[in-house]
Amino acid sequence: MDATPPRFTLETLTHLRRWTPRLFSFRMTRPAHFHFRPGQFARLGLDGEDGQTFWRPYSMVSTPDDPELEFLSIVVPGGAFTSRLETLRVGDTIRFNTLSFGFLTTDTFDSGTTLWMLATGTGLAPFVSLLRDPATCRQFPRLVLVHGVRHGAELAYRDELLRLVDEAPVPGGGSLRYLSAVTRESVPGALSARIPTLLASGDLQQAAGWPLDREVSRIMICGNPDMVQDTRSWLTAQGFRPHRRKEPGQFLVELGW
Ligand SMILES: Cc1cc2nc3c(=O)[nH]c(=O)nc-3n(C[C@H](O)[C@H](O)[C@H](O)COP(=O)(O)OP(=O)(O)OC[C@H]3O[C@@H](n4cnc5c(N)ncnc54)[C@H](O)[C@@H]3O)c2cc1C
């Protein structure tokens, strides 16, 4: 008898939460043999009319000890995957590839005491998973999460993140700063420029109350490719280097699409 668990499974949607008309979270069943580390992504599949399956990478919001899987999704008007995804209801099925991918994981770094997580839009997803995991806070006593969005309503998971900030110290013993940057409207308490601009002006470091320092700061960047590129360029100009296994550096990047 072949005991190899299936690589592709059919999972069931169990929960939907809409943040805005174009942004929602969903939970679905999880194959028992699917393993991942916080910060990683998997591939989800939906069938088109002609029998073709559209596969897309999605970062897990949930943690490895959660019996279900949770994701955060944009709706791209006319997008092959998300225009189908947004019509699904609880009880509908989603194809799942049980391999996990990605290096936006804290065990990639073997030094540093402050972890900066810089996200725009759905690039927040891997960082929620990391922050829900007490191991992240044990490894990095200081954590800074920056979420850049256009409108305040897109600050998904804000209440949960504010609760984590209030739980001082956060699970695992660290302390967390949660900063939001809203570019298209004024939101009380939020910064109001793009992440690369806030870094260059020093406003982000000032709002966090901690400097960005090559010795102790480690940085993860995830989201809009323009933000990722501009942030990477600014960091490189300041002497920070991308982290590679054989060439340790200070930052890791993941493009949001
Ligand atoms: C490593 C990785 C992880 C990802 N994780 C997530 C995730 O957790 N949640 C998520 O919603 N998407 C995520 N994506 C993007 C996702 O795979 C799809 O691109 C997205 O769901 C849209 O699919 P689509 O077929 O509808 O449109 P596509 O044809 O795939 O995309 C069309 C266009 O929509 C825009 N777009 C695509 N994705 C986004 C996005 N997330 N935010 C804003 N604009 C976007 C881009 O301009 C893109 O060219 C991830 C992508 C990568 C590479």
Q: Give the model confidence (pLDDT) of 210-229 as tens digits.
A: 999 999 999 999 999 999 99
The verdict on 46 and 169 lying in the same domain is: no
Flag whether 39 is in a domain.
yes
Average pLDDT over residues 125-148: 95
The verdict on 42 and 116 lying in the same domain is: no
Report the C-alpha gap between 198 and 137 in whole angstroms.
25
Flag whether 28 is in a domain.
yes
Which residue among 101, 128, 146 closes a domain? 101
The verdict on 137 and 242 lying in the same domain is: yes
The verdict on 230 and 122 lying in the same domain is: yes
Task: Check residue 9 and give its pLDDT.
Answer: 98
C-beta separation of 120 from 126 below 8 A: no
Mutation test residue for ligand 1: of 74, 84, 228, the one with most atoms within 8 Å of CB? 74
The verdict on 121 and 181 lying in the same domain is: yes
Residue closest via CA to ligand 1's atom 20 equals 82
Which residue among 35, 67, 101 closes a domain? 101
Residue type, 93: T
- For residues 246, 257, 224, 190, the Cα torsion angle rounded to the nearest 10 degrees is -100
Task: Check residue 2 and give its pLDDT.
Answer: 65
Nearest by Cα to 30 from 55, 56, 5, 54: 5
Flag whether 111 is in a domain.
yes
56 membership: H or E segment, kind and range: strand 53-59
pTM over 0.85: yes
Residue closest via CA to ligand 1's atom 51 equals 257
| Mean of per-residue pLDDT scores for the chain | 95
Report how far ligand 1's centroid is from the alpha carbon of 256 (Å). Answer: 6
Task: Check residue 169 and give its pLDDT.
Answer: 65
The SS3 assignment for 9 reads strand
Flag whether 3 is in a domain.
no
Flag whether 1 is in a domain.
no
Report how far ligand 1's centroid is from the alpha carbon of 179 (Å). Answer: 23
Q: How confident is the model at residue 173 (pLDDT cuts 50, 70, 90)?
A: low
pLDDT tens sequence across 33-79: 999 999 999 999 999 988 899 999 999 999 999 999 999 999 999 99
Flag whether 120 is in a domain.
yes
The verdict on 160 and 48 lying in the same domain is: no
Residue closest via CA to ligand 1's atom 10 equals 73
Q: CA–CA distance from 180 to each of 10, 34, 114, 150, 238 (Å)?
A: 36, 32, 18, 10, 23
Residue closest via CA to ligand 1's atom 11 equals 73
Ligand 1 atom index nearest CA of 126: 8
Number of domain units in the chain: 2
Beta strands in 64-207 (DSSP E): 68-74, 93-101, 114-120, 142-149, 175-182
Task: Check residue 172 and give its pLDDT.
Answer: 59
Report how far ligand 1's centroid is from the alpha carbon of 93 (Å). Answer: 20
Report how far ligand 1's centroid is from the alpha carbon of 182 (Å). Answer: 20
The verdict on 37 and 21 lying in the same domain is: yes
The verdict on 140 and 172 lying in the same domain is: yes
Which residue among 47, 71, 101 closes a domain? 101
Flag whether 136 is in a domain.
yes
The verdict on 82 and 125 lying in the same domain is: no
The verdict on 186 and 213 lying in the same domain is: yes
The verdict on 65 and 111 lying in the same domain is: no
Is the predicted pLDDT of residue 153 greater than 70, yes or no?
yes
CATH number of the domain where residue 18 is located: 2.40.30.10
Is the predicted pLDDT of residue 242 greater than 90, yes or no?
yes
Task: Check residue 40 and give its pLDDT.
Answer: 98
Report how far ligand 1's centroid is from the alpha carbon of 215 (Å). Answer: 34
Domain holding 71, by residue range, is: 8-101
pLDDT tens sequence across 96-116: 999 999 999 999 998 999 999
Task: Check residue 43 and give its pLDDT.
Answer: 98
Q: How confident is the model at residue 167 (pLDDT cuts 50, 70, 90)?
A: confident
The verdict on 80 and 147 lying in the same domain is: no
